[in-house]
Amino acid sequence: MEARLINSPSLNIKKVDMLTITKEFLFDAAHKLWRSELSDDENHALYGKCSRFHGHTYRLRITVSGTVGPDGMIINFEKLKKLVTDSIIERYDHAYLNELEEYQDLPVTAENMVQYIFNVLASILYEEKVALESVVLYETPTSWATMTRDS
């Protein structure tokens, strides 16, 4: 990542400029909020209507940083699209998320999904010398979860 430090002694602030690019994806998937160790009644009491099978059009925003190469890019959007599609979208689009291996012991919440997606993509992008800055996952237009890189 190329960063420029601006020192402002009078304000005691060190500002770090950062250039990022973001690619957005949509996928449709079904889930229910459910904990496998609880009974049906306990799950219904805990999660209410969301304990029933239902679907969302999820919106996923991937933001990365890195060095701008001679091609003028941090990473080609097309390449970023392929990496995310191959690792996440192909598996998640039109899936019943509760059946996926990563959610066998975890409720399929936006929080758990965004953590899983972040960890998978962080290591894939690391191989491409690109830093994953944040993953934002919208479950509905009014509800989303964000995971941001620890700097």
Ligand X SMILES: Nc1nc2c(c(=O)[nH]1)N=C([C@H](O)[C@H](O)COP(=O)(O)OP(=O)(O)OP(=O)(O)O)CN2
**Contact criterion met (CB below 8 Å) for 32 and 53:** yes
Closest to ligand X by CB, 8 vs 142, is 142
Distances (CA, A) of 109 to 45, 144, 151: 16, 10, 25
Which position has the token pair 């998640």?
92
Catalytic residue list contains 139: yes
Closest to ligand X by CB, 133 vs 139, is 139
Residues that bind ligand X (CB under 6 A): 33, 50, 54, 109-111, 139-140, 142-143
Residue in 125, 20, 24, 25 with CA at minimum distance from that of residue 73: 20
Please tell me which residue in 24, 42, 90, 94 is annotated as part of the active site.
94
Tell me the closest approach of the beta carbon of residue 34 to ligand X, in angstroms: 11
44 is in an annotated binding site: no
54 is in an annotated binding site: yes
Q: Three-state SS for 67?
A: coil
Catalytic residue list contains 50: yes
Tell me the closest approach of the beta carbon of residue 42 to ligand X, in angstroms: 16
Catalytic residue list contains 44: no
Residue in 64, 76, 62, 61 with CA at minimum distance from that of residue 126: 64
Binding residue ranges: 31, 54, 56
Annotated catalytic residues are 50, 94, 139
